[in-house]
Amino acid sequence: MTSETPRRRPRGRGRRRLSRAGRLLAALLLVGGLYTAFAPGLAAQDTPLSPTAAEGKALYDVSCITCHGRNAQGVEGRGPSLIGVGEAAVEFQVGTGRMPMARQEAQAPDKPPLWEGEELERNTAALAAYIQELGGGPEMPPGTNLSAGGDPGIGGELYRINCSSCHAYSGGGGALSSGAYAPGLGEATDREIWAAMVSGPQNMPVFGDNQLTPQEKADVIAFINYLQDDGDPGGVFTLGRLGPSTEGVAIFLVGITALLFASLWIAGKS
């Protein structure tokens, strides 16, 4: 039997090498395959962006990348990370012209947006979609009338406890530290107010849906709308809308000064 056993022929060097390479290749394939199978994060990264978001990425790479970095991770000393800020932040910052910033300063000022009309809407939506798909974050409800069903009475109470310390009792805004300021709310739209509350732009605190429910947000917006539409009875000059006493003090000071000079003039004449 043993004689029948085929005698092993010594393999050639070349074949041995080939076999070793084959085993290495198989091992590499196995490891790679396992890694691919068990690393879903990597697989998710490969999910292509939606067409709108891809459009947004193109815009991002032109207008935002300098300060916010290649993957919106932020650049030290220039701009913060945009991971998790959500579409609400994009809509607020780009829609009100705050972004892109013209220069580094205490606070990005409200200015005419980079685009106009439909182009602004489309580009803002594209950027918002890109940032949302990139890092998630607060989303915006649809529609332009976000105060529907809001109670300005309740909204007023919420406004006074949460907003009035910075934006003033009648929405006039006010100064903060080191050149920063809380802007006036006279021209703010429903969507801008909502976006600001959920995203906390600049130095404004975030008012998430757990703290101010969507209904309470509608209440606050209804109150701000009321402030915006409210007239100033009994006065032509609003003087910061600080109330009738302001106009009274102003006319008292101006009037007394005028009368003083008038009496001096009369005394000098006679």
Partner 1 sequence: MSAQESLETEHGPRPGTTLEPAAGTAEIDINAPGVTRFDLVREGARRDGIEIVVYEPRVEPGSRLERRTERSVALLFALAGLAGAAFIVAYIWWPWEYPGTELNAFHLQRFYTPVLGVTLGLALFLLGAAIITWVKKLLPHEVAIEQRHDGPSAEEDQRITAATLTNVVDESGIMRRPLLKGAIALGALPLAVIAAAPIIGGLIRDPHRPLPEMEAAGLDLSPQDHTGWHPALNDGNPVRLVHENGTPIRPADVAVAGQVTVFPGIPRGTTNYYADSPALLIHLRQEHADELRGQLYELNEGSMYGNYVAYSKICTHAGCPPSLYEQQTNMLLCPCHQSQFEILNNARPVFGPATRSLAMLPLALDDEGYFVAGTVNDAGELVGSDFKVPVGPSYWER
C-beta of 47 vs 210, nearer to partner 1: 210
Are the CB atoms for 99 and 108 separated by under 8 Å?
Answer: yes
Q: Which long-range contacts (CB under 8 A, 24 or more apart) does 184-189 make?
A: 185/224, 185/227, 185/228, 186/228, 187/228, 188/224, 188/228, 189/144
Using the rule CB under 8 A, give the single segment among 6-14, 54-62, 93-101, 170-178 that binds partner 1. Answer: 170-178
Question: What are 265's two structure tokens?
Answer: 């003039």
- 226 sits near partner 1 (criterion: CB under 8 A): yes
Using the rule CB under 8 A, give the single segment among 18-26, 65-73, 126-134, 176-184 that binds partner 1. Answer: 176-184
Which residues make beta-bridge pairs with 76?
A: none
Q: How many residues bind partner 1 (CB under 8 A)?
A: 30
Question: 201 in helix, strand or coil?
Answer: coil
Residues 137-156 within binding reach of partner 1 (CB under 8 A): none
C-beta of 52 vs 189, nearer to partner 1: 189
- 4 sits near partner 1 (criterion: CB under 8 A): no
Are the CB atoms for 84 and 125 separated by under 8 Å?
Answer: no
Which residues make beta-bridge pairs with 182?
A: 174
Minimum distance from residue 29 beta carbon to partner 1 (Å) = 40
Pick the closest to residue 167 from 191, 186, 183 (CA basis). 183
| Chosen residue from 6, 10, 14, 233 binding partner 1 by CB under 8 A | 233
Question: What are 227's two structure tokens?
Answer: 């402030």
Q: Which residues bind partner 1 (CB under 8 A)?
A: 157, 161-162, 165-166, 174, 176-178, 180, 182, 200, 202-208, 210-211, 226, 229-236
